[in-house]
Amino acid sequence: MLKIVARSLTGQKVRVFLTMLTLGVGVMVFVSLSALLQGLEFSVYHTFEGFSTQRDILLVEGTVELPVPVQAVSGCTVEERTLPARPVLIKHVDFIQFERLSSISLVEGSYPAAGNECIVEYFFSEKEGITLGATLFEYTVVGIFFHQKGFYTHVISPLPGTGYVLTEIKVDPEQYNEIASQIPSAIPARELSYFFSKGTVNLYETLRQMLGIVVAILVLSVFLSMNTAVLERKWEIGVLRALGAKKSFILRLFLYESVIISFLAAGIGIALGIIFSNSLTVFFSEIQQVKGIQPVITATLLVEAVAGPLLIGVLGGILPAYRASRMDIAECLVM
């Protein structure tokens, strides 16, 4: 049977190539986007992990001493602002808590002792040529720090205790709605602005919906390809049946062809996806000005990238294969 399958595939090079191309591009898009999203999620979680643990984000307006009596764990209170002179992100933090962060290491100088002093991120200082003692806007640079992921943070100064305060909260995803409903009563006149994990889930849901459409298109592509193969090989099917081939043999013959095409397309798509994911990550990092993101290729992702096309091959090839196995011998041999 394998010889017949190989002869059929090599004899229909254009059809096989177009089918593999369609499936391969689909796998490439799936692998590259999934690797980027997993890398971005890992980078963000790793950044927030430095502030204690993985937690969701709640943006409230108030002071440093504002109590938040909801289910939470202690971390580091952060205030952000951007100076109008140039696009530089300023983070104001409580340095008593900040010095305990595992993902931050001071490579030069010291932590700020006054409100008009700051420390700058290593890569930012190298890029801008900033050294200790330099005046950066209204701040004096007294230290340079290194962040393991370099995610967004460029300049850090002591927390003044006013403005917008970023409170990081760890919650069980199963209790998301319950905890979110506690916030208006716990913090009057405040509203929930953004939950990071919820946003991530929504992002993945959007991606899954898009991939669902792609899968439907790929199944249709395989179906049309295999259906064309059945029509083109009616005479061959008739000869095989006349020589004693059973209907189950014809069914397996076309299913094998579909699965082999899908498997080869998966291999090509994974290879291209891994290559393209690096370029996509670099492009995303430059657009968003985010450093330290690396595409993450997991074993689960590779299994999905292989199993998906194989399942598509079976779904797209089962009906044409069944139709081929049920063809009348006399009808097939009529030229």
Q: Give the tens place of pLDDT for each residue, 104-149.
A: 677 888 888 777 788 887 877 887 788 888 887 777 787 777 765 5
Contacts of 183 (CB under 8 A, 6+ apart): 58, 70, 190, 191, 192
pLDDT (0 to 100) of residue 270:
92
187-199: average pLDDT:
50
CA 333 to chain centre: 52
Q: Residue 200 above 60 pLDDT?
A: no
Contacts of 299 (CB under 8 A, 6+ apart): none
More confident residue, 286 or 14: 14
Nearest 10 degrees: Cα torsion 281, 283, 286, 291: 10
Q: In the structure, what pLDDT confidence band is assigned to residue 50 with cuts at 50, 70 and 90? A: very low
78-93: average pLDDT:
57
The model's pLDDT over 209-244, given as tens digits with 9 standing for 90+, comes to 776 787 778 778 777 777 777 777 778 778 887 888
Q: Is residue 281 within 8 Å of 295, Cβ to Cβ? A: yes
pLDDT (0 to 100) of residue 88:
64
Considering 24-38, 72-86, 258-272, the range whose residues carry the highest mean pLDDT is: 258-272
**Which residue blocks in 168-246 are alpha helix, DSSP H?**
176-186, 196-232, 234-242
Q: Is residue 117 within 8 Å of 160, Cβ to Cβ? A: no
The model's pLDDT over 87-116, given as tens digits with 9 standing for 90+, comes to 566 666 766 666 655 466 778 888 887 777
Q: In the structure, what pLDDT confidence band is assigned to residue 184 with cuts at 50, 70 and 90? A: low
User: What does the mean pLDDT of the chain come to?
Assistant: 70
More confident residue, 20 or 162: 20
Contacts of 22 (CB under 8 A, 6+ apart): 218, 221, 265
The count of residues in the chain is: 335
73-83: average pLDDT:
49
8-31: average pLDDT:
81
